[in-house]
């Protein structure tokens, strides 16, 4: 699947403040004071990143995407989507336990030989247990609405639990494309054919011993200014277009994305208008889209609130 299914010196950082324009469909423009606060926060986060980035960031294998890759053409219903999120699988095919020979990762700027894991080990990483007990037989239709139901009537019924495991019918070693600290890379992967979605799910086959982790630079002192919200993850990258999710309140309005490009960094965040009324205390993941001045390529994408690199995930 191709879901695109994440340094300059401080003096230069202070001078490079070009901001790409958000898509007009994502909300109204943020007030100048909040955008200025975002720019200041982004500058501080970029400086902290430069001080913390590890030496292997541009030489080793540091994935910036979930290791399970679902093809865009997979036939996903509500039950199979729930199974993917929960990790419910059952095997109906042999799972080789032998560790294959070392594989090759192909980056835009070079190659890297890495040890791999067996198909059995990769399946264990996929499978997170069995679904909860479910009624046997076909699913029942929802209960009928009582005749006396009106605006104040009860229409509740027993919740229908999605409990369909995904059936693995074949497994073979191949490759998949994921985002890394060095840009999009072709990596060895075990390809599991799944009967319920008529597609193959890829699970990265690179051993943990050869897999780096993104650093966690200290966040700048203080909290982000009122109205600024952080980016939670990347949903899709497509050339110069990025879709990501902001963490906002359930009653927030005028959610607006903000992005700053400087050198080999892209910093994402946004603004929201807080509600003055009573509201539930929960985090809502709001998708937003921005268009960069140039294709993302191998640039690192950071959350401008926390300073952490953003991971490309499958939207929940």
The tens-digit pLDDT sequence of the chain (316 residues) is: 334 333 333 233 323 333 344 443 344 444 578 889 999 999 999 999 988 888 889 999 999 999 999 988 888 888 898 899 889 999 999 999 999 999 999 999 999 999 999 999 999 999 998 887 765 444 444 444 444 444 444 444 444 445 789 999 999 999 999 999 999 999 999 999 999 999 999 999 999 999 999 888 877 777 777 889 999 999 999 999 999 999 999 999 999 999 999 989 999 999 999 888 888 888 999 999 999 999 999 999 999 999 999 999 975 5
pLDDT confidence of residue 315? 55
pLDDT confidence of residue 180? 97
* Residue spans in the chain of domains classed CATH 2.40.128: 68-132+160-210
pLDDT confidence of residue 30? 44
Query: Could you please report the per-residue DSSP string of 175-231?
Result: EEEEEEBTEEEEEEEEEEEEGGGTEEEEEE-B-GGG------PPPPSSPPPTTEEEE
Measured CA to CA, the distance from residue 253 to residue 272 in angstroms comes to 6
pLDDT confidence of residue 11? 32
pLDDT confidence of residue 162? 59
Measured CA to CA, the distance from residue 102 to residue 206 in angstroms comes to 9
How many helical (H) and strand (E) elements, i.e. helices and strands, does the chain have?
4, 13
Return phi, psi of residue 165, to 5°: -75, 155
What fold, for 68-132+160-210? Answer: Lipocalin (2.40.128)
């Amino acid at each position: 699947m191709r879901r695109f299914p994440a340094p300059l010196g401080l003096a230069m950082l202070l001078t490079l403040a070009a901001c790409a324009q958000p898509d007009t469909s994502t909300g109204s423009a943020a007030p100048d004071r909040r955008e200025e606060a975002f720019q200041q926060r982004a500058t501080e986060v970029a400086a902290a990143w430069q001080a913390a980035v590890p030496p292997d960031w541009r030489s080793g294998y540091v994935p910036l995407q979930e290791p399970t890759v679902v093809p865009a053409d997979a036939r996903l219903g509500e039950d199979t989507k729930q199974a993917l999120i929960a990790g419910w699988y059952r095997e109906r095919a042999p799972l080789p336990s032998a560790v294959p020979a070392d594989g090759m990762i192909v980056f835009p700027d070079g190659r890297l030989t890495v040890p791999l894991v067996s198909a059995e080990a990769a399946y264990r990483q996929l499978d997170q247990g069995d679904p909860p007990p479910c009624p046997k037989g076909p699913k029942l239709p929802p209960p009928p609405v009582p005749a006396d139901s009106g605006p104040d009537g009860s229409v509740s019924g027993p919740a229908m639990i999605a409990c369909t495991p995904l059936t693995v019918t074949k497994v073979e070693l191949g490759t998949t494309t994921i985002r890394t600290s060095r840009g999009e890379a072709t990596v060895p992967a075990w390809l599991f054919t799944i009967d319920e979605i008529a597609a193959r799910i890829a699970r990265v086959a690179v051993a943990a011993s050869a897999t780096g982790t993104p650093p966690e630079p200290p966040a700048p002192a203080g909290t982000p200014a009122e109205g600024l919200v952080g980016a939670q993850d990347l949903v899709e990258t497509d050339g110069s277009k990025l879709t990501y999710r902001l963490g906002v309140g359930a009653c927030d309005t005028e959610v607006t994305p903000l992005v700053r490009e400087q050198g080999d960094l892209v910093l994402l965040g946004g603004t929201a208008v807080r509600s003055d009324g009573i509201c539930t205390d929960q985090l809502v993941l709001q998708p937003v889209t921005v268009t960069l001045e140039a294709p993302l390529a191998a640039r690192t994408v950071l959350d401008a609130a926390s300073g952490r690199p953003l991971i490309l995930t499958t939207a929940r």
